[in-house]
Amino acid sequence: MIRNWLKGACPMALALVLAAPGAARAEGWAEYRQPDLSGAIYAAANGDLMVLVGCKEGGRPALQVTLPEGSKARAGRQGSVSLAVDGRSFGFSGEVMALDDGAGKVIIATIKASDPLLKALGAGTELKVAQGGASYVLPLAGAGPAVASFQAACGPKPRGAAAEAAAAPAQTPPPPDDEAKPAPAAPADRAERAKPQPLPSNAELADAIFVDKQEGRRVAGKLKVSAVDLNGDGANEAIVTVTDPGWCGENGCTILVVDFTGGQVRTIGEFIGQSLTPGKGRTGEWRDLVLRGPTGQEVQNYVDGRYR
């Protein structure tokens, strides 16, 4: 079983649909519309919601997945789940919650309307939901239109040309060459950060990123830490693989990307795979990462303060 009791794992204060409302549903994928919730669902033959992607009015989009029967994830803690579309795996971390009837558990995680998983759902044929050794499979027939309705409801809203122009900052033409000024020196804090600093010890790192301190002490000796400067500022970030068997499953082990800006330890990416290494491309100042798993590899980009 893969456990993920980590700081910075984006706990959800929003539970989407913990118990199915009374109306019966046809089995399969469908658009989901309620007064305060829009998205897409997969309903089982008995009406249970197995997968839901949606958003409440004005809220962040979220993904809710029913965990496989036999999952040992503990309600009220953070957990991880693997969603594999035709063998291509996508890992998500979020809050584990018990269903109202006590008959099962769901995991709820944030998701962007542009997440690669959604494109895969629309084009795939089979979705495998797995956690540790437990799993189940859902067909993807009809997922495309349902996912498109979620993206339309929960994705960024386009603005008109006039609104774009009004929102755009005024542009000042550059001065002639003879008036050009030399670029200002780098801020002192950036210059200070650029001085290479040693990474924390494994014990210190585990203590900082694990909420459960006892678990952190237990697995500290199983952390494989690779130092790498991901944003070109001269200071190292770290790629941390938790090689303890309790944190590894059929798709690989839990891998974290850790930042140390300002002396604070912050998790900026969480994945499940066989390896995570720097790629050749960049997104802004940050290097892309390549996540490798049993079925291939996928590029992870730095977006909105995290690798996704």
Q: CA distances (Å), 299 to each of 8, 125, 126, 128, 195, in order? A: 22, 22, 22, 21, 29
Q: What is the mean pLDDT of the segment spanning 63-89?
A: 88
Whole-angstrom Cα distance, residue 234 to residue 125?
45
* Residue 49 or residue 24, greater confidence: 49
Looking at residue 229, its pLDDT comes to 93
Contact 209, 228 (CB under 8 A): no
Rounded distance between C-alpha atoms, residue 158 and residue 87, angstroms: 34
17 band by pLDDT with thresholds 50, 70 and 90 = very low
**Within a 10 A sphere around the Cβ of 182, how many other Cβ atoms?**
5
Stretch 225-249: mean pLDDT: 91
Q: Which residue has the tokens 């050749």?
A: 280
Strand ranges (E), 61-133: 62-66, 78-85, 88-98, 105-110, 126-131
Q: Are residues 138 and 207 in the same domain?
A: no
Residue 191: the pLDDT is 46
| pLDDT at residue 261 in the model | 84
285/298 Cα distance (integer angstroms):
20
Q: Looking at the structure, tell me whether residues 138 and 48 fall in a common domain.
A: yes
Q: Could you tell me if 127 and 218 lie in one domain?
A: no
Domain-ending residue, one of 129, 154, 179: 154
Distance (Å) of CA 171 to CA 4, 45, 162, 167: 47, 58, 16, 12
Each as own residue / partner, the long-range contacts of residues 203-207 (CB below 8 Å, 24 or more positions apart, any chain) are 205/238, 205/240, 205/258, 205/265
pLDDT at 158: 53
Name the residue with higher pLDDT: 96 or 163.
96
Is residue 10 assigned to a domain? no
Confidence of residue 61 (pLDDT cuts 50, 70, 90): confident
Longest dimension (CA), the chain: 75
State the pLDDT at residue 176.
Answer: 54
The CA distance from 134 to 227, in Å, is: 34
Same domain membership, residue 138 and residue 208: no
Structure tokens at 43: 């309903």
Asked which of 154, 176, 198 is the last residue of a domain, the reply is 154
Q: Is residue 8 part of a domain?
A: no
Does residue 143 sit in the same domain as residue 193?
Answer: no
**Regarding predicted confidence, which is higher, 21 or 227?**
227
What pLDDT, on a 0 to 100 scale, did the predictor assign at position 287? 93
| Residue 265 belongs to some domain of the structure | yes
Same domain, 236 and 282: yes
Structural domain contains residue 161: no
* pLDDT number for residue 11: 33
How many structural domains are present in the chain?
A: 2
Is it the case that residue 190 has pLDDT exceeding 70?
Answer: no
Res. 57 pLDDT band, cuts 50 70 90: low
pLDDT at 15 over 50: no
Residue 101's domain is classified under what CATH number? 2.60.40
Please tell me whether residue 227 adopts helix, strand or coil conformation: strand
pTM (two decimals)? 0.49
Handedness of CA 76, 118, 282, 157 (dihedral sign): negative
Number of other residues whose CB lies within 10 A of the CB of residue 31: 16
Domain assignment present for residue 271? The answer is: yes
Who wins on pLDDT, 187 or 105? 105
Average pLDDT over residues 126-151: 91
pLDDT at 92 (0 to 100): 87
Report the SS3 class of residue 292.
strand
Residue 65 included in any domain: yes
Of 93, 128, 154, which residue is a domain's last?
154
Residues 51 and 137 in one domain: yes
Which of 25-39, 52-66, 221-235 has the largest mean confidence? 221-235
Q: Is residue 216 pLDDT above 90, yes or no?
A: no
CB atoms within 10 A of CB 45: 9
Give one word for 189, left, alpha or beta, with left for phi > 0 and alpha for psi -120 to 50. alpha
What is the model's pLDDT at position 51?
92
Q: Are residues 74 and 125 in the same domain?
A: yes
Q: Is 203 inside a domain boundary? A: yes
Mean pLDDT of the chain, nearest integer:
79
* Residues sharing a CB contact under 8 Å with residue 91, sequence separation 6 or more, in sequence order: 80, 81, 82, 83, 251, 270, 271, 272, 273
Averaged pLDDT, 20-49: 78
Write out the residue range of the structural domain in which residue 136 sits. Answer: 28-154
Across 229-295, where does the E strand assignment appear?
Answer: 237-242, 248-249, 252-259, 266-273, 275-283, 286-293
User: Has residue 132 got a pLDDT over 70?
Assistant: yes
Check residue 228 and give its pLDDT: 93
User: Residue 242: pLDDT band by 50, 70, 90 thresholds?
Assistant: very high
User: Is the backbone of residue 18 left (phi > 0), alpha (psi -120 to 50) or beta?
Assistant: alpha
Residue 6 within any structural domain of the chain:
no
Percentage of the chain beyond pLDDT 70 is 77
Check whether 167 has a pLDDT greater than 60: no
